[in-house]
């Protein structure tokens, strides 16, 4: 299970980030997790919502760093030689510092229910 560990708000998108950590005991798929603040969830501002598209598998206790600025996605090491998967949003302006809202992490919930054969809409 990914958890938000730290949020660094900044006027510089290269220094603005959200740090996540896999607190589970198994690898998890990053794809489909979403970060959004209150304005991104409740309002019309979808620019304050990020959906992870990378197919990276995050090992137990490993970190994910979402940087608002530019860079190349991939695995790096922190100063203690621990693996960190860095994701760059490539924004020219900071995202999280402007509103100061709480940031939420949402994830995909998987079920073992079979898909229905067709979609039925009732009114």
17 domain residue, yes or no = yes
Number of domains in the chain: 1
* pLDDT above 60 (res 41): yes
Exposure string (b/e) for 85-116, b if CB count within 10 Å is 16 or more?
bbbbbebeebbbbebebebeeeeeeeeeeeee
Neighbouring C-alpha atoms within 13 Å toward the C-beta of 27: 8
The CATH number for 42's domain is: 2.60.40
Read off the tokens for 86: 């860095």
7 domain residue, yes or no = yes
User: Domain residues for 51?
Assistant: 2-106
H helical segments located in 2-114: 38-42
Provide mean pLDDT across the span 29-47: 82
120 domain residue, yes or no = no
pLDDT in tens, 73-122: 999 998 998 899 999 999 999 998 866 688 999 986 655 555 555 544 44
Q: What is the pTM of this model?
A: 0.83
């Amino acid at each position: 299970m990914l958890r938000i560990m730290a949020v660094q708000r900044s006027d510089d998108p290269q220094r603005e980030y959200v740090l996540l950590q896999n607190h589970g005991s198994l690898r998890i798929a990053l794809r489909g997790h979403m970060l959004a603040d209150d304005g991104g969830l409740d309002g019309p501002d979808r620019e304050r919502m990020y959906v992870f598209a990378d197919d990276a598998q995050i090992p137990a206790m490993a970190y994910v760093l979402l940087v608002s600025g530019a860079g190349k996605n991939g695995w790096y090491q922190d100063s203690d030689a621990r693996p960190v998967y860095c994701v760059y949003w490539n924004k020219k302006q900071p995202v999280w510092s402007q509103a100061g809202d709480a940031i939420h992490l949402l994830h995909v919930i998987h079920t073992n229910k079979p898909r229905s054969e067709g979609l039925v809409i009732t009114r």
